[in-house]
Structure 1
Amino acid sequence: MARRKAGNGEPTQRFLTVAGDLTRTGVKTGEMGVAAAQTIGYRTAMMAAAMNNPIDLANPEFVRMGSEKVEAMVEATHAVAKGIGEMQQAWMTLMQGQLQAAMVMVTGLGQCRNPVDLMELQRRTVTETVEAGIHAALYMVESATALTQAGMTPAYRTVRANARRLAKQHG
């Protein structure tokens, strides 16, 4: 789900990738808002016109309004359910990295023979802790971004398709 192809790759590049993904998500949100407004406008006009003739209320578009929302929600729920597992894995990675660094520190204390060894152990522990934290936090952000996109994609696709279809029918 998350684009964690970089693994423990360059944090700056991974962060820029996430920023790009979030930017695209923001743009899609805006596009959804415009498409939803168009769809609501078309459907409101159709409903107002159907009030004059009750037979027009049998228009398949009125049934579609409910069923498409349910379908998009089910699809989004499945995508989010898959993403939750990855999010949990990211959380465990964060905790595990910190725990491993602490264990290295504790076991290394027994091997220190002089103050220089202790300083080297502290340097190594801090470096590993910070690096593990950075990579795990990026994994968490990547997972959250992918989760957001997965949950939003079905609604985005449906809203945009509705706006295009109704514009073609009425415009």
Structure 2
Amino acid sequence: MSASAQVIGHRTARMAMAGPAPSQRDRNEFNLMSREKIEALTESAHAMAIRMMSMHQETARLAIQQMLNGAANLMSVASSNSLHQSGHHQNKLAQDTMHDSAKAMSQFNTSLANIAQTGLQPLHARATANAKRLKKL
């Protein structure tokens, strides 16, 4: 964020000083600014799309795993020999279902945060590089 603030401040001041007739150097910088924004956003979208595809695979794996665990617990309930054993198996089914659901939601939220972080990396890299470059001017 600080790199972005530096770059925005530098470029805004440069635009204000250039006025209605910017120099060739200013026009080159303004063109670079536009091109870099498009490139960074494209890189960001691409990186997030790739990460989202792997998230879909993780989500499917978790869903299948939960389905199999639930089916095994249901079979335990169905094959209980006594009322006490059935109650125990039902309790395990409920606890495992709630635990697995909470675990899946936590993993899902972590994946979403990772997608956001992945999408910000190209933007951060460009802003940091521009801050360093513009500091020298």
Offset of residue 113 of structure 1: 1.4
Residue pair 1:72, 1:155 contacting (<8 A) in 2 also: yes
Q: Secondary structure at the match of 1:113?
A: coil
Query: 2:19 matched to which residue of 1?
Result: 51
Q: Which moved more, 1:126-135 or 1:89-98?
A: 89-98
Residue pair 1:86, 1:143 contacting (<8 A) in 2 also: no
Residue pair 2:14, 2:26 contacting (<8 A) in 1 also: no
Matched residue type, 2:117: Q
Matched residue type, 1:139: Q
C-alpha RMSD of matched pairs (Å): 2.3
Query: 2:67 matched to which residue of 1?
Result: 99
* Percent pairwise identity: 30
Aligned residues: 137
1:86-127 residue CA offsets vs partner (Å, 9 max, x unmatched): 332343345334423432243223311111220221132123
| Residue 166 in structure 1 maps to residue 134 in structure 2 | yes
Offset of residue 54 of structure 1: 4.5
Q: Which moved more, 1:69-78 or 1:117-126?
A: 117-126
Go from structure 1 to structure 2 and tell me whether the alpha carbon gap of 1:57 and 1:117 turns closer, same or farther (over 3 Å shift).
Answer: same
Residue pair 2:48, 2:118 contacting (<8 A) in 1 also: yes
Q: Give me the whole-angstrom Cα distance separating, in 1, the residues matched to 2:127 and 2:32.
A: 12
Alignment of 1:51-90 (within 5 A): 51=19, 53-56=21-24, 59-90=27-58
Query: 1:116 matched to which residue of 2?
Result: 84
Residue pair 1:93, 1:136 contacting (<8 A) in 2 also: no
Matched residue type, 1:76: S
Q: Which moved more, 1:96-105 or 1:74-83?
A: 96-105
Q: Secondary structure at the match of 1:144?
A: helix
Offset of residue 65 of structure 1: 0.3
Residue pair 1:76, 1:153 contacting (<8 A) in 2 also: yes
Unaligned runs of 5+ in 1: 1-31
Query: 1:126 matched to which residue of 2?
Result: 94
Unaligned runs of 5+ in 2: none
Query: 2:120 matched to which residue of 1?
Result: 152
